[in-house]
A and B are shown apart, each in its own frame.
Chain A
């Protein structure tokens, strides 16, 4: 029982990381009906920026917000410079563009920072604390707390502010929103900025455990896809719940299913994607797509 609890807590910690990246995917999917395959690489690149800042002597809690601001600005820049010119292109074109972006960020990170995995500092100690008899590390609890706060902030921004309202309006009904004076194109850019910042959080949270290198996020993005699909790719809440479920499931499968172990955890995520698409294509929180013909 104790061990089960421990596994669940550490699953929730990875779940928070998946949830953040999944939320980033959902933000962009909602804004333009596109899965951004570069989301993981953008997060990795932002994590390198955080690394460089810390390396230059900034304290962790200063480097963290600076990185988020830079990631936000970077996301907007990517949308304005790369995505906007092809905004009206067929979705396949956009997919190829995001794949190109992924390669670009991966190569740039390798070129600038090298391919040697680096250890990334964590502000949380690895020592453990006992909760109801189970031991959880401060590291895991810290990741859960940071992810929770970030997700809550995004929720409040989208649901409780005028900017959030206009972002949602622009995402769902661009034409009707324009007639209400909403600057739709800038709202899309804002969506990219937010997604990039949320993704950066997942990268920074993942880095201490995974070691920082250009390919760091390539498994995380698969888990994030699984989380987003499970939650219903259009639902921010679904992305968060999906992330936590995927994190816990994968962790429990690794611990208790002998044939899964550490090697087949990624296969569990892929199995989740396939199972959701077969059984409930709209995910847990998604609405069925209804089209009038």
Chain B
């Protein structure tokens, strides 16, 4: 296995007096796709939020060998982590184009223009709607915008929180197809939180299953998919 890009080591976190994560350890290899599964309230979203400093945590989180302890959200993001949060984080007061520009606003390199072309190749609908307010987009288009914007940040790692939520199956399939393409073409690692376990196991190589704030199962995605007992006890399908 290639060296870990992201490592969580015994991470505990919570909101005020309520603790949600009771010691989560997991890792994402360079350019790998890892899915994080589990029931509602198991701590999947909180795990992602801990990584980008949206919630206080203890333990250790390392990215590219460097500890993220005591870093602000802005600084973590600037290290090369793009987090597409629950609800997609679209700025609905702004246009589609302005949302995309917020993805690339920190970049000074010459490839920005190429990346825009690439993004519009993946999501032609965004090119058509560039000048429109992001609030006019459908749910699927907003998810595309969120992923496109994350791509423009040129991250080494993308955190995707339930990209399939509330979308039609066909839209979900095309979005997952593009996630796979981004991962392969750009060597962007992905940590994918999903309710739709079957879909997530298809795309990822490794999976972690959370149960009440702990990693209950970890393993090879294909194996987990075939494991009847794991499927029944944790994945609910």
Contact = CB atoms under 8 A, between A and B. Distances in A.
Interface string A147-188: 000000000000000100110110011011111111110000
A28 B236 CA distance: 49
B210 interface: no
A176 B85 contact: yes
A172 B93 contact: yes
A169 B74 contact: no
Interface stretch (B13-21, B23-31, B98-106): B98-106
A273 B90 CA distance: 34
Task: State the majority secondary structure of interface residues on A.
Answer: helix
B94 interface: yes
B49 to A, nearest CB: 10
Contacts of A176: 85, 89-91
Contacts of B198: none
A173 B74 contact: no
A181 B153 contact: yes
Given A165-B101, A168-B94, A180 B77 contact: yes
Interface in A174-227: 175-184
- By size class, the interface of chain A is 10 to 19
Interface string A108-147: 0000000000000000000000000000000000000000
A282 to B, nearest CB: 15
B78 interface: yes
Contacts of A173: 89, 91, 93
A182 to B, nearest CB: 7
Interface in B102-125: 102-103, 105-106
B55 to A, nearest CB: 12
B105 A166 contact: yes
B54 to A, nearest CB: 8
A173 B73 CA distance: 14
B149 A180 contact: yes
A176 B74 CA distance: 11
Contacts of B105: 162, 165-166, 180-182
Given A162-B105, A182-B74, 6 more contacts: A168-B93, A172-B93, A178-B77, A179-B73, A179-B77, A180-B103
The 10 A-B residue pairs with the shortest CB-CB distance in the complex, in nearest-first order: A176-B89, A178-B73, A181-B77, A172-B93, A180-B102, A179-B83, A173-B91, A181-B106, A181-B78, A183-B74
6 contacts: A165-B101, A173-B89, A179-B85, A180-B103, A180-B153, A182-B74
